[in-house]
Structure 1
Amino acid sequence: MSDLNGRTALVTGASRGIGQAIATGLAARGATVIAHFGTDKEGVTATLDQIERAGGTGHPVRAELGADGDVETLFAGVEAALADRSLDILVNNAAAPPAGPLGTTTRAQFDHLFAVNVRAPYFIIERALPLLADGGRIITVSSVATRMANATQTSFAMTKGAVETMSRTLAAQLGARGITVNAVAPGATRTATNAPVFETPGLTELITSMTALGRLGGPGDVAEVVAFLASDAARWITGQVIDASGGLFLGPRA
C-alpha cells in the first residue's frame, strides 16, 4: 500500500511501542517519517531500521518533552529534516505514564504528567501549523481511560480528556484549511515495554473478559487506525475520538 507517497509525517514518541508501530506503518505506506525520541536512542535506531526494511525513509529527532525549550528543540530538528518541504501528518503519541491514584501523586509528578501529555502536544501543534500543508492531518493518541473510572489513573485520564477536547476545538478552527484533527483512544495494549505488567497473575484474563473482541491489543492494532486517519479515505472525519480498544469495558458480555 502506498497511499501516503510523497507525504511527510512527524511522530512523537516513536522509539518504542505504539509510536514505533505508527512510524513504521506510515513509512510502509510511503510517508517520509520524522521519528521523535526523548532518551531512547537505541529504540529510535530500531524504528529507523524497521522503516528502512519497509522500504521507507526516516529521520530521527531528539527532544525531551516537558522540559524547558522542548518544542524549540524538536522543531529545529524537524525543520532540518523537512528541508523546505511541508509537513503533512502530525501524530502526537508521546506521553508520560500514569503517576498513581489520588493521594500518591506528588505535585512534581502531576506537573510533569501535564507538561508531557497536554502542554507539549498543544504547543507542538501551534508550532507545526505554519509548516503543515492545507489538507493535513493532526492525530493525537488518547486513551480509553477517559471513559472508564479507574482510580489508579485519575491524573492520567485528566490529561487525555484535555487532548480530546483540544482535538475537537481545533478541528472546528482548522477545518477552513482542510486539516482534520482527531484522537485515537487505545485500550489495554501489550508492548515490549509494558509486557511485564500483563504477567501479573490473572490480569490478562480479567482484561480480555471485559473486552468485546476477547484479547489484548497490540501496537499494530492502533497503528492501523492512525494510518487510516492519515489517509485520504478519512478526509471526511474530523473532531472525533476513535476508540481502538477492541471494545474494552462496553458492558456485560453475553
Structure 2
Amino acid sequence: MDAVLLITGAATGIGAAIARRMAQPGARLVLHTGRNAAGLEALAGELRATGAQVATALGDLADPATAPALVETAHEAFGRVDGIVSNAGRAQRGNFGTITPADLEAAFAMMPVAFLRLINAALPDLTTSRQGRVVAISSFVAHGFGTNGLHYPVSGAAKAALEALAKSLAVQLGPHGVTVNCIAPGFVRKDSGGHTATSSATMESAAAITPTGRIGEPADVAETAAFLLSPAARQITGQVIHVDGGLLLP
C-alpha cells in the first residue's frame, strides 16, 4: 500500500497499534501526538526499522492551528494525504452536577471539532486520492450508558458527535470513492503510562461483563482499522464497527 496515512494520537495505545499494523517497507506514515514526543520518536524509530517512511508531529488538537499543520507536515514529507485515522481523544468519567460546560467544550474541541478541522484541511487530497480512506476511533461510551457502573456523559457526547460527522462525510465523499467509517472499541487495555479514566481493577472486572470474557487489546482494534483502510473494504462506508467482544449485546 503506497498511500500516505496520517494517524493522530499515535504515541501509545490504539494509535500506536494501528501504526505498527500499517508499517511495512514502502509505507508512508505521518504520526501525531499531543505531548508524548519521546514515545512518538521511539515508535517512529521502530517503524523505520521495518522499512516504513515516517514523519512525526506534535500539537494539541484543541488548538485550531494543529490540524492544518498536520496536513502540512504530510505535504512536506510525502506530498499528499490519502488516509486519516482520527484516534486522538481522552476519556472522562463524571456525573451531572460535577461535570461542567467547560468539560464538554474541551472534549468537543479535542474530538469532533478537531476531526472537522482535519478533514477540511485534507479534503482536497482526499477527493483526488485513488485510495482515500478515513477511520475515526469512537467508543462504546457513545452507545452504552452506565456500562459496568461507569458514566462517561462528556466523552459519550463527543464520540457520538464524531460518529455523526463521519456519517455525513461518508455521504459527501462516497462519489469520490472515499470511504469513511468509525470503530467503537469496548474496554481496551492501556499501555503502561498512557492516560486512562478507568482503574486497573475496574478494567479487569469489565471482562466479566464482556461476552468473550476478556477486554480488548489495542491490536484488536488495529486489525479492524487495517481492513477498513484496505482496498478490500471499498464498499463499506458510513458504518460504526463495534470491536467490543459483545459488550453492548446484553
TM-score (structure 2 length as normaliser): 0.90
CA contact (8 A) 1:212 1:246 kept: yes
CA contact (8 A) 2:183 2:242 kept: yes
Where 1:87 maps in the other structure, the secondary structure is coil
Q: Tell me the number of residue pairs that the alignment of Structure 1 and Structure 2 aligns.
A: 243
Instruction: Quote the Cα distance in structure 1 between the aligned partners of 2:83 and 2:25.
Output: 13
CA contact (8 A) 1:142 1:183 kept: yes
CA contact (8 A) 1:65 1:120 kept: yes
- Asked whether 1:49 is paired with 2:45, we answer yes
Q: Which amino acid aligns with 1:236?
A: Q
- Asked whether 1:91 is paired with 2:71, we answer no
CA contact (8 A) 2:64 2:114 kept: no
Where 1:117 maps in the other structure, the secondary structure is helix
Instruction: Quote the Cα distance in structure 1 between the aligned partners of 2:203 and 2:9.
Output: 25
Instruction: Quote the Cα distance in structure 1 between the aligned partners of 2:203 and 2:113.
Output: 33
- Asked whether 1:76 is paired with 2:77, we answer no
Which residue does 1:27 correspond to in 2? 23
**Cα shift at 1:48:** 0.5
CA contact (8 A) 1:98 1:153 kept: yes
Structure 1 segments (4+ residues) deviating >6 Å:
none
**Superposed counterparts of 1:118-197, under 5 Å:** 118-132=112-126, 133-150=129-146, 152-192=151-191, 193=194, 197=198
CA contact (8 A) 1:99 1:155 kept: yes
Where 2:132 maps in the other structure, the secondary structure is strand
Root-mean-square deviation (CA, aligned residues, Å) is 1.9
Q: Which amino acid aligns with 1:249?
A: L
**Cα shift at 1:205:** 4.7
C-alpha offsets along residues 173-208 of structure 1, whole Å, 9 cap, x if unaligned?
1111000000001110002125794532xx345311
Cα pair distance change 1:237/1:43, threshold 3 Å: same
Which residue does 1:248 correspond to in 2? 247
C-alpha offsets along residues 62-92 of structure 1, whole Å, 9 cap, x if unaligned?
221102422233233222122x3x3221110
Structure 2, unaligned stretches of length 5 or more? Answer: none
Instruction: Quote the Cα distance in structure 1 between the aligned partners of 2:196 and 2:24.
Output: 25
Which residue does 1:104 correspond to in 2? 98
C-alpha offsets along residues 215-252 of structure 1, whole Å, 9 cap, x if unaligned?
1111111011000000011111001000011111311x
Q: Which amino acid aligns with 1:243?
A: H
CA contact (8 A) 2:11 2:39 kept: yes
Identity %: 35
- Asked whether 1:207 is paired with 2:201, we answer no
CA contact (8 A) 1:62 1:77 kept: no
- Asked whether 1:37 is paired with 2:36, we answer no
Identify the range of structure 1 (145-154 vs 234-243) with the bigger mean alpha-carbon deviation: 145-154
TM-score (structure 1 length as normaliser): 0.89
**Cα shift at 1:30:** 4.9
- Asked whether 1:8 is paired with 2:4, we answer yes
CA contact (8 A) 2:74 2:81 kept: no
